Structure 1
Amino acid sequence: MLKRLFFVSFVFYLCSLIYVEDSSYVHAINKDVIFFDSGTAINGRTMLPMRNIFESLDATVAWDSSTQTITASKGNTTIQLKVNSYKAIVNGKETFLDNPPTIMNSTTMVPVRFVSESLKLPVEWDSTLRVVNIITEGKNIFIYVNDPTINTDKNSKINNYNQLVDLHNNLLFVLQNLEYEKSLYPNYSQDYRNILEKQLTLSKLKLKVMQRMEVILTEIIRQG
């Protein structure tokens, strides 16, 4: 029940946001909440484009293409990362990563947890909803990992599919509640329109989940 309540509150956050297209990553942004619709998991670690995550955390970021080195700074903290290197430097001290930065589709991806914790920001992971939550000054950052793993193993794909089914069912639950709530108000009143807008936003997210389910199911059937 608590999980459902968390999901409902999370969904209502998303409903108040403005969607902005940026390459293959969809952001929903207002002054309090940032939602990344396309976190990517590699070896169990959530990755995002370097500029998206650093700028969302109010850090400055620089890219040296000759050495493929990322340098980010916020307050008294400076982080240096290098593509395909497990070594990182935080405030001049060497440390090591579980997963190195990598380039995917010409985009430099960095590990979300390492970046956030290096900047001393708490990170929470909800395995059921597949949502990473980072809390920073005055705003929440939600990252939905819509592709649970890059893995060709059939069992992993079946697990991914089942997780998406759970998310789809949660979305249906919230949409049904919204339909009931909408029925309590006169047609086309302001409250009615507000709920309708929320329904449209969630329906779009549900469609994306269903599309991903179809892709994974096709891959599973192909593998036999």
Structure 2
Amino acid sequence: MFTLRSVKYKDILDIDELDIPEQRIICIVGESGSGKTTLLRLLNHIISPDEGEIWFQNTPLSQWNPVELRRKVMMLSQSPAIFEGTVRDNLLIGFKFGEKPPVDENQLQDTLKIVRLNKDLLLDANSLSGGEKQRLAMARILLLKPEVFLLDEPSSALDEETTQFIMEQLVHHVNQLKKTMIMITHSKAVVEAFAEHVVEIKKGKVLITKEVGPCKGASTCRFGN
């Protein structure tokens, strides 16, 4: 799905070669400051490499219309944007930006259940806690059903029990849709339980890239086996 060749970005990333497969749950791991978030930003074309080329679906990112690309490849940051208005407004704003017809109330409620956010659709979104805002933004992306979900530490603001529940739901949902999820995580438990492919980055370079699944949410799958 993604192919990177001789990609350099400032003094942060220096990737000779990296292939990221489609329809997999892919975990990007590595110490803080190793370049993981920068890699996601490159894949979403928020930033461009100083050298080298990145391909998505066999087409260089430089040839993609950025708006069209981001409709297919959506990124959820650690501190996602929450817009003025209600929970419902925030869930539907992606359809407005994407010029798509909105979904019905039942789909909104069902998606909130996936991320374990039991809130009234008319509640002011800014009244939510940090973890709830993260889950609201996650639900917003799920509703839009992109080809690729780019998630930067999706469980960083969640407790262990909520992380397990939401990750199981996310993985099941992404697999059902036959989409791709690429997520940064520092949680070994998340990698062990859900990763089908692991990319380890150290000091801006790819140290390891390998298949470890398919897990599809099974707790018996273990990283490194």
State the TM-score, normalized to the length of structure 2. 0.30
Structure 1 or 2: more helix by fraction: 1
State the TM-score, normalized to the length of structure 1. 0.30
The higher radius of gyration belongs to 1
Select the structure with the greater relative contact order (CA < 8 A; seq sep ≥ 6).
2
Structure 1 or 2: more strand by fraction: 1
